[in-house]
Amino acid sequence: MPWRLAVAAGGVILLVAGGVALRATSLAPGPAVVLPTPAPSGLVPTVAASPGAELVVDVVGAVAAPGVVRLPEGSRVVDALTAAGGATADAQVSALNLARLLVDGEQIAVPRPGERTEGADAEAGAGDGLVDLNTADAAALDALPGIGPVLADRIVAHREDGRFATVDELADVAGIGPTLLERLRDLVRV
């Protein structure tokens, strides 16, 4: 056997042995990596939560098991729906802000198509079931479809410059375009 062929065969054997060793070490589990808990952006309410604090929330409407649920403090609407067995097939979940933080003692009404949610509207003092743009607090505005906490705060800030005279003035609030305005038109009043 020529010496060059022997050297080439030896090199190939070394490469294969190195590849096998590398593969064996890459399959071995490494140390656990602890990821940091992401912090929410924007203003965060500073509520002194005692360890083990819980919220009691009433979930009604189009859910599998309506009723009172107990959740840890800091839970969101989506957690309440899950605790109530999840939304039914005919639920109009898009009418809810699933990311909104829960408040102890509140009621989450999961509507079916054509139904209106009454919890946030009643808190805003609307006897006709509509949210009043001039009197509703940020939480009631946040419960409207397509309005999150940032837009709710912008609406409240906008009315500090003067009351809303018409629903169309919502278009003056940064972040509310024609599509969102049309979606809100039948849910709000001045």
Residue 58: Cβ-neighbour burial (10 angstroms; 0-12, 13-18, 19+): middle
Note the Cα 96 to chain centre separation in Å.
Answer: 10
Write the DSSP symbol of residue 33. Answer: -
Query: Nearest Cα to 188, choosing from 5, 19, 151, 99?
Result: 151
Q: Where are the alpha helices (DSSP H) in 89-170?
A: 119-123, 138-142, 149-160
pTM: 0.40
Tell me which amino acid residue 12 is.
Answer: V
35 against 47, higher pLDDT = 35
The model's pLDDT over 22-45, given as tens digits with 9 standing for 90+, comes to: 776 666 566 666 666 665 554 444
60 three-state secondary structure: strand
pLDDT of residue 123: 41
The model's pLDDT over 71-82, given as tens digits with 9 standing for 90+, comes to: 998 899 999 999
